[in-house]
Amino acid sequence: MIEAEDYDRKSKSQLKREMHELQALGEALCALSPEKIASLGLAPKLAEAALFSKTLTAHEARRRHMQYMGRLVRELAGDADSEEIAALRRAMDDLDHRKRGADNAFHQVEDWRDRLVAGEFALVEEIAAALPGLDRQHALTLARNAAREAAKAKPPKSSRALFRYLKSLDEQG
């Protein structure tokens, strides 16, 4: 008969899932820019290995290095509930959250530009509510010029200028 304490240990499949998740965390570290790697305050050996991955170009060398990164992260973890790993996961989630926020803001500005160029001039009031420093007249002039350029199949100079203007206001606010 199987004792109850035999069920307390993790299954081989669960251990493998945890190892793969830590391996993916190591690979995600390697994908970050050197500035972001430095800002995370990683263990020196892990930070050095993550920065070294930027120098590898051969596929097999990168694959082996990713295996090594997984091993370093697993060693750092020691236990799957390690405080260092929890802090690293939080930092990576925070970076991901900020990137998604920046992406959403970029897409919002693109949408506003496209709608203004399409002739939705009433949208200026909505944009002004979101971006307090908006010069309505300047935005409308750029939108009208962009619509004219699009109608004549000219390069989208005014459309780009409108996007840059809206993006600069978005970054200020």
Per CATH, domain 99-172 is 1.10.60.30: yes
Whole-angstrom distance, CA of residue 64 vs CA of residue 21: 17
Supply the pTM of this predicted model. 0.64
Helix (H) or strand (E) holding 134: none
Shared fold status for 10-81 and 99-172: yes
Confidence of residue 91 (pLDDT cuts 50, 70, 90): confident
pLDDT at residue number 149: 93
Is residue 162's pLDDT more than 90?
A: yes
pLDDT score of 86? 82
Give CA–CA dist 122/37, Å, rounded: 45
Give the CATH number of domain 10-81; options: 3.40.50.300, 1.10.300.10, 1.10.60.30, 3.40.640.10: 1.10.60.30
Q: Where are the domains of the chain?
A: 10-81, 99-172
The confidence score (pLDDT) of residue 50 equals: 92
What percent of the chain has pLDDT above 70?
A: 94
| Lowest-confidence pick of 8-17, 114-123, 137-146 | 8-17
Sign of CA dihedral 150, 156, 159, 163: positive
Q: What is the pLDDT of residues 2-57, one digit of tens each?
A: 565 666 788 899 889 988 888 898 899 999 899 988 888 888 898 999 999 999 99
